Amino acid sequence: MIASAWVLTAAHCIAQDQVERGYRVRLGTLDARNGGVTYRIDRMVRHGGYIVGTADGPPLNDIALVHFVADDQTNPSAADHTPQPIRLNGTRAGDRIVGPGADVTVTGWGKNKSGPGARFSPVLRQADLQTVSCDSAPDYRGKTSDAMLCAAAPGEDACQGDSGGPLILTSGEPVLIGIVSWGMGCGEANHPGLYVRIDRSHYIDWIARAMKSDPKLNRLN
């Protein structure tokens, strides 16, 4: 959650038909099985330049916003803790453009490994990583852009089901610097996780414009 009634996610995690089918946002819990307060999604805004990724290459502009509203299923007292918006990197004068070597943390309810037998986690898990150059991975060279951020640690990674989740700076105030987007396998050597980069040069302006855009729009360049 980045603002009142707005959640930031990956474009490949949300589609207009899911809004129309009554999908919901759950906030305020660390356990996906129960607890937390849910809200109805009434709108999505996907980046107009989004291009679907493949097994060989990441998606482009993999970013979207979800707007939610309370309804008769919303029970704020069910939250285990009060949801608080996270600040976006690039919204303060002292914020830096994150390069290689930064300590970062990713969280999610995704699978515990790739391949057969992998299970989604019922509780929120985290992995402590370091940012790396995306070009340090031979299989990624020529496939990434400066709007992407890579992070890795031995045996640690985001995985399937973590997409759209947050990558934050590990120390100090929680600051969102990336969105889980793509990767080859999970925790494999030379295959870091790839994230949508959030900073003053990447998507901050788009996020602000999307939140102010005509509610009839579900795409914005």
Catalytic residue annotation: 12, 62, 163
Compute φ and ψ for 31, nearest 5 degrees: -120, 115
Tell me the one-letter amino acid at 127: A
Whole-number Å distance between alpha carbons of 115 and 119: 10
As a 3-state breakdown, the chain gives helix, strand, coil percent values, each rounded to 5, of: 10, 35, 55
Burial 167-187 (b: 16+ CB within 10 A, else e): bbbeeeeebbbbbbbbbbebb
Contacts of 69 (CB under 8 A, 6+ apart): 5, 39, 40, 42
Query: Which residue's structure tokens are 């949801």?
Result: 83
Exposure of 148 in the CB half-sphere (CA atoms within 13 A): 25
Tokens standing for residue 211: 């939140």
**DSSP sequence for 78-130:** G-SS---PPEETTSSTT-----TT-EEEEEES-BSSSSTT--B-SB-EEEEEE
